[in-house]
A and B are shown apart, each in its own frame.
Chain A
Amino acid sequence: MTARPLPPSRLSRLRQSDLWWSFTHHRGAMIAAALLFVLIFSAFTAPLYVPQNPFDPAQLDLLNAEYPPIWTEGGQWPYLLGTDTQGRDILSAILYGSRISILIGLASVFFALVVGIGTGLVAGYYGGLIENLLMRFGDILLSIPTILIAILVSAIVRELLPPSLREVGAGGVLVLAIVLSGWVQYARTVRAQTAVERSKEYVQAAQLLRVPARRIMFRHILPNTLTPILVAATLNFGMAILTEATLSFLGIGMPASQPSLGTLIRLGNQFLFSGMWWITVFPVLQLCLLVVAVNILGDWLRDALNPKLR
């Protein structure tokens, strides 16, 4: 009896891929990935070990207000990065805020991908009038600066919501605003690629076999268009976090009752001139670390997946 060789597991296939090789030979990418992992992990496990839930008013004590960071004079344990004017621990607020920022970023990229890929596939596969209509609509959206679209959408949708839903729905409104200003890019990439793939033989073969159009689009063509999409999605995750932070900073994003990093920066900004720099600077730092890590990974991915650079 001879042992049949096992088919290679997913893990071992990953470890033999070019992508993995390129990753382990790019120091920047590894550092960025490690940093990103730490940031995400700490944001989601924060409730287990931070000294307080910063958004539960019952846990705040004004007596603890305005402590500077622990390594400066007047710092107080356990408030490592100091407290704000309401006695809220900055470190806890940052970790809770990152969680909101990351979730909104992920949700925006996901829905923008769904809308963009769907539109691009349909436009590229069917061509003709549908393509013209969808892509013209995209062109028009692209001819307005994206930040303007995001601001307008979020302001208008919020106005249309009943007041009782405005605070609860703030996250959803932001996701909608970022998706609406961002899906066109995916749609264009997928459409261009689909239009190329459509005329290839494997698609013709599938059509002759009467494979349903939906199946051809999603199972046959889509996998061949994913590489550029993957790069764009990574870079756009960083962009989405930035857009969310910008909107929140401008006061039309997350409310103070469930603040993201942008909201924290807006709230802290008022105290910059009174010398309480730590209320603003630490959320700023966290936001930058997060986005820099994502962008370095995105840059690496773009080079690693580019066949011209191999």
Chain B
Amino acid sequence: MIVFLIKRLANAALVMLAVALMAFLIFRFVGDPVQLMVNEQTTQAEKDALRENLGLNDPVAVQFLRFVGNAVQGDFGVSYRNQQEVMSLIAERFPATIELVLLATIISLVVGVPLGVYTAIHRGSWASEGLQFLSIIGVSLPSFVIGILLILVFSVMLNIAPAFGRGEVVSIGWWTTGLLTPSGRAALILPSVALSLYQITLVMRLVRAEMMEVLRSDFVKFARARGVPRWRIHYVHALRNCLMPVVTMTAMNIGSLIAFALITETVFQWPGMGMLFIQAVTFVDIPVMAAYLCIVSFIFVALNTLVDITYALIDPRLRMARG
């Protein structure tokens, strides 16, 4: 078990190092950092001093090590665009994105699991075939399209939900939340639904596939023979046995949801990390891009590793196979 743990953690560290290398290469070689930081009046001497100050004259390997060292301490330098600390820019936006992603995850579970069970039980019925077809459409609709359509229907035509911004927020320490004010809650509705739609179809398809397998097993037959009520068999006995993969997938997908949130955030003008990143991309604000890449990848890799380790704790067979 300890060997497995070490191997898995080493693997995660290697991936993070590779991501850091990528971020560093972007940072160092796309455009000249000095040129991007100075204005026209800067003299050559000042530029040289700045270059020396930033350590750009050191060997590349040394620069990379310094970059990693700083990144581990959360120091990604200063944004080219507005001269603020990159880390504080991101920290400011972080709660908005996390709130959106977590709410979308909850919605996808609350809606997706019952739908999955329903389509598995009533296989071939009119309603379940319809849902199955809807799920193909759900997978085919890009998330920005869902956002636009939601805005069109609920904001422009019906005028019942705000289409942009985060409403009023309350700050608790460094965390800001929109959940405590009416306007904050209203602003959350459309973006979180838009973000969760794709996730709902995934959860629904997974639960359906798992349920169909479990419903064939002996313990379900036995429960039927004992005369356990139908709903109890389906929603208690069978469902419990298919939740493991659902939990795994949900945990793993939180990372990609954070990445996908950047599209939703752009559509709804949601002041999260993703919008910061897209603005950075348009202005070629390299430090912000590099920092975002590192942070999102870190969350992604950390969740994957955590899920793998949890699995190995539960199922000893995996320790041998995966190690």
- Chain A interface (Cβ within 8 Å of chain B)? 28, 139-140, 143-145, 147-148, 151-152, 155-156, 159-160, 238, 242, 245-246, 249-252, 265, 269, 272-273, 275, 277, 280-281, 284, 287-288, 291-292, 294-296, 299
21 contacts between A and B (CB under 8 A): A28-B133, A140-B15, A140-B18, A145-B300, A147-B262, A147-B263, A148-B293, A155-B289, A156-B26, A238-B140, A242-B140, A246-B144, A249-B266, A265-B148, A272-B151, A273-B156, A287-B145, A288-B141, A292-B136, A292-B140, A294-B140
Task: Select one of A238, A250, A291, A294 contacting B278, CB under 8 A.
Answer: A250
Question: Does B64 sit within 8 A of A, measured CB to CB?
Answer: no
| B142 adjacent to A147 (CB under 8 Å) | no
Nearest Cβ on chain A to B97's Cβ, whole angstroms:
13
For the complex, give the distance between the alpha carbons of A144 and B298 in Å. 9
Question: Does B149 sit within 8 A of A, measured CB to CB?
Answer: yes
Q: A145-B256, A245-B142, A292-B137 are in contact. Are A152 and B26 (CB under 8 A)?
A: yes
By beta carbon, the residue of chain A nearest B301 is A143
- Chain B interface (Cβ within 8 Å of chain A)? 14-15, 18-19, 26, 30-31, 133, 136-137, 139-145, 148-149, 151-152, 156, 163, 255-256, 258-260, 262-263, 266, 277-278, 281-282, 284, 289, 293, 296-297, 300-301, 304
| B142 adjacent to A246 (CB under 8 Å) | yes
Q: A252-B281, A292-B136, A292-B137 are in contact. Are A145 and B148 (CB under 8 A)?
A: no
Q: Tally of A-B residue pairs with Cβ under 8 A?
A: 110
Q: A144-B297, A292-B140 are in contact. List 13 more A-B contacts (CB 8 A).
A: A145-B296, A147-B259, A148-B259, A152-B289, A159-B31, A159-B284, A251-B278, A281-B152, A284-B148, A287-B145, A295-B140, A296-B136, A299-B136
Q: A139-B15, A145-B296, A287-B142 are in contact. Are A155 and B281 (CB under 8 A)?
A: yes
By beta carbon, the residue of chain A nearest B157 is A277
Nearest Cβ on chain A to B72's Cβ, whole angstroms:
18
For the complex, give the distance between the alpha carbons of A202 and B289 in Å. 50
Residues of A within 8 A of B141 (CB): 288, 291
For the complex, give the distance between the alpha carbons of A151 and B293 in Å. 11
By beta carbon, the residue of chain A nearest B256 is A145
